[in-house]
Amino acid sequence: MNALTKVMLKRLSRAARPYLKSSGLLQVSGVYNRSALVWEPGAERVVVLAPHMDDETIGCGGTLALHAQRGANITVVFMTDGRHGSSKLSTLPREQREQEQQRLIETRKNEARLALAKLGIADMLCLEAEDGTLQAAAVPAQQLRAILTERRPHLVYLPFYLEEHADHRATSKVLLAAVAGTDLQFQCFGYEVWTPLFPNCLVRIDRTMPLKRQALSQYASQLAEADYLHACVGLNAHRSAGLLDARNGYAEAFHVSSLADYREMYNTYCASR
């Protein structure tokens, strides 16, 4: 991470504090006392952007379950269809590979419905962009604009733009294209999947961690490829170090900023690369 990005992150960490304070500030341990606050999710209108089916559970499943328990209106939007999400596809002849890809798409959708049900979420939308091509896709931004305009969210959860995976990074690009020229205003909650972020917000998920485990376990086709559950639980356990009196606890970490600040930060980062 270059020096300019570090400065932007620290400045925007401070900028997010008024929102987090007004929404429920709790004390944190010395690990994060200069950067992060502990926040309690409530009954906000929430839209979650997940590049792939399981990212939402890995990145913010415990937090979403808390929102759901408190009466939030939650919509999860899956950006890609997951057709390339199996290591076995490359060994198949073309016709058989295409058939397997269609089967895989339906499998992933069914797994996602089951996972979201464990978290208490029923509203699921799929933009159907081809897995791995989100950076170059134009249609998802148009689809997402319609969704956001209709639902008018208070909060949008999405992978933080420093995520290493190309589809994860592209989700920020799609979001900003979708809101361009609109009057939409919301808080962006950048979550972490494979790339740990610099957090300014922690959510204690001790109570909902069992639901998160159950939800992630529904992604059998994903877990057959790698032990994502083990990695996810380990990261959430590590994040609990930022909580006071967190023994054997769990937390999810976010970088929170206004939409305007998120756009500025993203554009500054892109221009510096």
Q: What is the dihedral of CA 243, 246, 252, 255, to 10 degrees?
A: 10
pLDDT interval class at 25 (50, 70, 90): very low
pLDDT interval class at 138 (50, 70, 90): confident
| Cα-based angle 208, 210, 211 (whole degrees, multiple of 5) | 65
pLDDT at 27 over 70: no
Q: What is the pLDDT at residue 112?
A: 97
pLDDT at 9 over 60: no
Coarse DSSP helix, strand, coil percentages of the chain, rounded to the nearest 5 percent: 50, 20, 30
The SS3 of residue 181 is: coil
The residue among 90 and 23 whose pLDDT is bigger is 90
Joined together, the tokens standing for residue 31 give: 């690990």
Q: Which helix (H) or strand (E) holds 47?
A: strand 45-50
| Cα-based angle 36, 180, 138 (whole degrees, multiple of 5) | 105
CA dist 64 and 218 (Å) reads 16
Average pLDDT, the chain: 87
Distances from the Cα of 13 to the Cα of 28, 35, 71, 107, 168, angstroms: 15, 6, 28, 39, 21
Q: What is the pLDDT at residue 3?
A: 55
Dump pLDDT digits (tens) for 69-112: 999 999 999 999 877 655 565 565 666 666 777 888 899 999 99
Q: What is the pLDDT at residue 35?
A: 58
The residue among 26 and 79 whose pLDDT is bigger is 79
> All domains of the chain, ordered by start, with CATH?
3-272 (3.40.50.10320)
Quick one: DSSP state of residue 85?
-
Q: What is the pLDDT at residue 24?
A: 42
Dump pLDDT digits (tens) for 209-267: 999 999 999 999 888 888 999 999 999 999 998 887 768 899 999 999 999 999 999 99
Beta-carbon count within 10 A of 40 CB: 14
Tell me the pTM.
0.87
Pick from 8-22, 89-103, 166-180, 235-249: least confident: 8-22
Q: Please say whether the dihedral angle defined by the alpha carbons of residues 177, 179, 182 and 183, taken in this order, is positive or negative.
A: negative
For strand 155-159 and strand 45-50, is the pairing parallel, antiparallel, or unpaired? Answer: parallel
Q: What is the pLDDT at residue 255?
A: 96
Q: Please say whether the dihedral angle defined by the alpha carbons of residues 128, 130, 133 and 138, taken in this order, is positive or negative.
A: negative
Q: What is the pLDDT at residue 225?
A: 81
Q: What is the pLDDT at residue 21?
A: 47
| pLDDT average, residue stretch 8-33 | 51
CA dist 165 and 156 (Å) reads 19
CA dist 269 and 123 (Å) reads 33
Identify the CA nearest to 51 among candidates 161, 134, 114.
134
Dump pLDDT digits (tens) for 106-126: 999 999 999 999 999 999 999
